[in-house]
Amino acid sequence: MITSFSSETKSAQIARQIEEMILNKVYQVGQPLPSQQELAKDFNASSRSIREAFKQLEAKGLVEISQGKRAMVKSNNLEQFVASLSSTLISNHTTDKKLLLDLMQVRTTVEVSATRELSRSDQRSILVRSLDNLTSKMEQLLPRLQTGDQEAIIQWNGHDFNFHKTLIDSNDNVILTAIYENLSPLLYTSMDQITNTYGELEKSTREHRYLVEALEQGQTDLAVALALVHLTAIRGKLEASVV
């Protein structure tokens, strides 16, 4: 029953597979899991390995363990665990700048990965259409941005945020995406303090258009390169602006 990963302990393998069943709602909230004896037999494992697996699942908030009772499914998602992990990440960082730059690296990893997969997907047309629509709205704001219209800048930032969020949300790594979403308000609050010239906004808008075209045509290498260059430039501005 176990799919083996050489770097995993037996209990970690068992926890991972039970976790998958819980997240896929094979076991529903409030439903008891099979007894430790049944699971030990199913997984060809010792009772100790099952108990250790339960502890890992309990730490993630997925199961509730009571003395003398079968473990109960507490949650079918990892939101509470991710929120707790995000809080730990924040409290363990000694400098805001390091946290923000680390978070920017997570964003780059997630977004570049999502760009790569989206460019290869046969089902990309709907998402690419959304990205195209957001880019068109940014392009329409350019004349107002050139005059320094503050309301236009706010609108442009909103479209830019939704553009990148659409890309990030298309990523298949649910855990990494969830961690990023819990921490992203810190990043965007800092990025809101960055002042962009009209030339920088116009250049960024063009980069969005080039990326949409590359995604639409399934040009994976070009799309990944465009995303990476764009995000690297953002990181540079963030690093220069944060004390």
Q: What is the pLDDT of residue 66?
A: 85
- Assign a CATH topology to domain 80-241: Four Helix Bundle (Hemerythrin (Met), subunit A) (1.20.120)
Residue indicated by tokens 């997925």 = 62
Architecture of domain 10-73 in this structure: Orthogonal Bundle (1.10)
Q: What is the pLDDT of residue 206?
A: 97
Q: Would you kindly state where each structural domain of the chain is located, as residue ranges?
A: 10-73, 80-241
Q: What does the pLDDT look like over 147-172, one tens digit per residue?
A: 999 999 999 999 998 999 899 888 76
What's the rounded mean pLDDT across residues 12-33?
Answer: 87
CB–CB of 127/166 below 8 Å?
yes
Give the residues across from 164 on adjacent strands: none
pTM: 0.64
Q: Using the predicted structure, report yes or no on whether residue 187 has a pLDDT greater than 50.
A: yes
- CB 114: neighbour CB atoms within 10 A? 22
